[in-house]
């Protein structure tokens, strides 16, 4: 164990580690994957997790947002002389798991890993969201259960939050409420009284991080003339779809410049074109008067949404000047600021101690850890004033060691990595909740940034 842990704290962590049930961890992940929870429809999974936390000995409750969406919250009470820790993970999946909603955008058909049916493949749990987010949420749940089973005397309370609406999506067509994603569940949880002194977020990436990008969405409308193919040769012809493609090409050349200009700290914010819409699919004989496309532009914690808007405006103006004859308008339709917790904050250092304890070596941030562009509910937590550290599991790899594709990275999780993350979460949570406020505040003053 790390030298930073005293004898009594070392003993407490080991007691909680001994209570980790690996079979239970595997079975929980399989069960969670097999409960569909696309954004806006997390109720069944959140209620299941509420029951799981109750059976593990935590006070737990279901937080209803509407009749289809809700959060699960648990509390293991301390004696109120310490600082409260929120162990948090979202529970909604990015895609739905049905051909009706996902195909053809995920591919020509749903692969087995894209369906909400959990199964084992060697030492992996596979199925929709098996890694992100459900494998991470399972680790948080089992970590809390192990601490409860160990019967440790805690100074700070351990809160466990499983939030709906964590994915970067607006509402699906079948959902009537407009704000079901973009951290809605986390925001609701905090508004409804679930508060802590600091938080640990379980999301992918086998390194401790303390900041992440935010995001701005833009809708760009390119204008042309409504026309008929039979009249193209004799009437004014300006195809909005063709001009949209030309403008998209200009933006694709600009995105790397934007990334280079805004890279700092642990983030390298990216941008891309996400969707395009123009014309009637039922009527190929006509061209539309307008074609619109959407852009997701990630932003550094050191870039405000209004500043990102100005950078995008300049890029559009310069692109239109180069093109010369393209007519377009645009608007920013969504913005979530990036966030950063000072790296010298006590909870970040606590997670570093846990990482060194579990791995036997201190963390060394590689290039991948310093060029992130993924946004999570960590932004909601930090921007609401809760210092937050993030830790997760590495993506699974192919047998030859190469990286798997995006969906498989979301939908497959290694059981050995789940055990490792659970042990880390246990060590960090016991460390955080076993100290008095004076101990943590004194320790925070002595922390050196790494």
What are the residues whose beta carbons fall under 8 Å from the beta carbon of 367, sequence distance 6 or more?
Answer: none
**Would you say residue 448 has pLDDT above 70?**
no
Tell me what pLDDT residue 445 has.
57
Among 306, 336, 366, where does a domain finish? 336
Q: Summarize the confidence of residues 411-419 as an average pLDDT.
A: 98
Q: Is the CB of residue 368 less than 8 Å from the CB of residue 206?
A: no
Give residue-wise pLDDT tens across range 393-412.
Answer: 999 999 999 999 999 999 99
Residue 447 has pLDDT above 80, yes or no: no
Check residue 192 and give its pLDDT.
97
Q: Which of 50, 42, 144 is nearest to 91 (CA)?
A: 42
In a domain, 304, yes or no: yes
Query: For position 332, which CATH number holds?
Result: 3.30.70.360
**Residue 392 CB contacts under 8 Å (≥ 6 apart), including other chains:** 136, 202, 203, 204, 205, 206, 421
Residue 449 is predicted with a pLDDT of 35
Residue 417 is inside which H or E element, if any?
helix 415-433
Q: How confident is the model at residue 307 (pLDDT cuts 50, 70, 90)?
A: very high
Residue 1 pLDDT > 60? no
- Considering the domain architecture, whether residues 29 and 105 belong to the same structural domain is answered as yes
Instruction: Determine, yes or no, domain membership for 259.
Output: yes
DSSP annotation string for 180-222: SSTTHHHHHHHHTT---SEEEEE-S-SS-B-EE-EEEEEEEEE
Q: CATH code at 119?
A: 3.40.630.10
pLDDT at 177: 87
CA atoms within 13 A on the CB side of 200: 39
Give how many domains the chain has, as a whole number: 2
Nearest to 296 by CA among 259, 243, 264, 322: 259
Average pLDDT over residues 194-216: 97
Cα separation, 292 vs 444, whole angstroms: 50
Token pair for 5: 């842990």
Query: Is residue 80 assigned to a domain?
Result: yes
- The model's pLDDT over 130-157, given as tens digits with 9 standing for 90+, comes to 999 999 999 999 999 999 999 999 999 9
pLDDT at residue 174, rounded to an integer: 84
Domain match, 290 and 159 both: no
Instruction: Check whether residue 196 and residue 227 sit in a common domain.
Output: no
CA–CA gap between residue 158 and residue 144 (Å, rounded): 8
**Does residue 3 carry a pLDDT above 80?**
no
Please indicate, yes or no, whether residues 48 and 161 belong to a single structural domain of this protein: yes
| 1 domain-assigned | no
How high does pLDDT run on average in the chain?
A: 95
Please indicate, yes or no, whether residues 244 and 208 belong to a single structural domain of this protein: no
* 162: nearest Cα among 196, 134, 181: 134
pLDDT score for 429:
98
Domain final residue pick, 336, 354, 381? 336
Residue 446 has pLDDT above 80, yes or no: no
Q: Over 80: is that where the pLDDT of 106 sits? A: yes
307 with 428, same domain: the answer is: no
pTM of the model: 0.95
Residue 22 lies in a domain: yes
pLDDT digits (tens, 9 = 90+) for 338-379: 999 999 999 999 999 999 999 999 999 999 999 999 999 999
Is the predicted pLDDT of residue 450 greater than 50, yes or no? no
Kindly state whether residues 58 and 171 are assigned to the same domain.
Answer: yes
Please write the tens of the pLDDT for every residue from 29-39. Answer: 999 999 999 99
Mean pLDDT for the stretch of residues 167-178: 89
Task: Indicate if 52 and 118 belong to the same structural domain.
Answer: yes
- Based on the domain organization, do 174 and 278 belong to the same domain? no
Of the three residues 303, 336, 369, the one that is the final residue of a domain is: 336
Region 213-241: what's the mean pLDDT? 96
Q: What is the pLDDT of residue 195?
A: 97
Do 220 and 332 belong together in one domain?
A: yes
Residues in the chain, overall count = 450
List the structure tokens of 63.
């937080």
Q: What is the mean pLDDT of residues 313-334?
A: 98
| Contact between residue 379 and residue 338 where contact means Cβ atoms under 8 Å apart | yes
Residue 382's nearest CA partner among 417, 420, 347 is 347
Residues 34 and 141 in one domain: yes
Of 1 and 217, which is predicted with more confidence?
217
Share of the chain above pLDDT 90, in %: 94
Residue by residue, DSSP assigns 38-96 as BTT--HHHHHHHHHHHHHTT-EEEEEESSSS-EEEEEEE---SSB--EEEEEE--BSS-
CB 25 within 8 A of CB 431: no
Contact between 294 and 273 under an 8 Å Cβ cutoff? The reply is yes
Predicted pLDDT of residue 175 = 81
DSSP string for residues in 103-133: TTTT-SS--GGGSS--EEETTEEESTTTTTT
Residue 2 lies in a domain: no
- DSSP 8-state class, residue 297: E
Given a cut of 90, is residue 2 above it in pLDDT? Answer: no
Taking alpha carbons only, the member of 273, 216, 222, 221 closest to residue 243 is 222
- What is the pLDDT, as a whole number, of residue 128? 98
Instruction: Tell me, yes or no, whether 18 lies in a domain.
Output: yes
Contact indicator for 185, 43 with CB cutoff of 8 Å:
no
Domain that holds residue 147: 7-212+339-446
Same domain, 247 and 288: yes
Structural domain contains residue 83: yes
CA 395 – CA 411 distance, rounded (Å): 10
Give, for 390, the enclosing helix (H) or strand (E).
strand 388-391
Contact present, 161 and 70 (Cβ < 8 Å): no
Least confidently predicted of 55-59, 173-177, 273-277, 337-341: 173-177
pLDDT at 251 over 80: yes
pLDDT in tens, 253-295: 999 999 999 999 999 999 999 999 999 999 999 999 999 999 9
pLDDT above 70 covers a percentage of the chain that reads: 98
Counting Cα atoms < 13 Å in the Cβ hemisphere of 127 gives: 19
């Amino acid at each position: 164990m790390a030298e930073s842990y005293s004898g009594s704290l070392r003993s407490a962590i080991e007691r909680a580690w001994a209570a980790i049930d690996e079979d239970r961890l595997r079975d929980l992940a399989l069960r969670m994957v097999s409960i569909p929870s696309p954004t806006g429809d997390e109720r069944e999974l959140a209620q299941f997790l509420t029951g799981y936390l109750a059976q593990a000995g935590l006070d737990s409750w279901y937080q209803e947002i509407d009749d289809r969406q809700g959060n699960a919250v648990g509390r293991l009470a301390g004696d109120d002389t310490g600082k409260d820790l929120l162990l948090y993970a979202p529970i909604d999946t990015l895609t739905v798991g049905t051909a009706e909603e996902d195909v053809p955008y995920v591919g020509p058909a749903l692969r087995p890993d894209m369906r909400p049916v959990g199964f084992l493949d060697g030492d992996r749990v596979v199925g929709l969201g098996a890694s992100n987010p459900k494998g991470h949420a399972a680790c948080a749940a089992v970590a809390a259960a192990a601490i409860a089973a160990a019967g440790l005397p805690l100074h700070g309370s351990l809160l466990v939050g499983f939030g709906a609406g964590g994915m970067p999506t607006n509402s699906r067509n079948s959902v009537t409420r407009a704000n079901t994603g973009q951290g809605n569940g986390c925001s609701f949880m905090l508004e409804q009284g679930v508060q802590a002194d600091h938080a640990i977020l379980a999301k992918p990436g086998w390194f401790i991080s303390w900041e992440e990008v935010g995001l701005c969405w833009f809708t760009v409308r390119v204008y042309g003339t409504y026309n008929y193919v039979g009249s193209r040769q004799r009437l004014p012809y300006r195809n909005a779809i063709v001009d949209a493609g030309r403008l998209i090409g200009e933006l694709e050349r600009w995105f790397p410049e934007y990334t280079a200009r805004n890279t700092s700290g642990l983030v390298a914010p990216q941008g891309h074109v996400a969707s395009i819409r123009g014309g009637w699919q039922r009527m190929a004989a006509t061209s539309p008067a307008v074609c619109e496309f959407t852009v997701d532009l990630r932003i550094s914690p050191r870039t405000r949404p209004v500043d990102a808007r100005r950078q995008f405006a300049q890029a559009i103006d310069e692109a239109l000047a180069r093109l010369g004859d393209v007519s377009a308008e645009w608007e920013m339709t969504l913005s979530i600021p990036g966030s950063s917790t000072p790296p010298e904050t006590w909870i970040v250092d606590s997670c570093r101690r846990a990482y060194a304890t579990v791995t036997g070596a201190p963390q060394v941030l590689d290039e991948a850890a310093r060029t992130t562009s993924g946004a999570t509910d960590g932004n909601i937590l930090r921007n609401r004033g809760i210092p937050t550290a993030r830790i997760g599991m590495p993506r699974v790899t192919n047998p030859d060691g190469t990286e798997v594709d995006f969906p498989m990275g979301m939908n497959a999780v290694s059981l050995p990595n789940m055990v490792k993350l659970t042990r880390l979460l246990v060590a960090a949570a016991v460390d955080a909740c076993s100290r008095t406020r004076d101990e943590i505040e004194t320790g925070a003053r002595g922390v050196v940034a790494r």
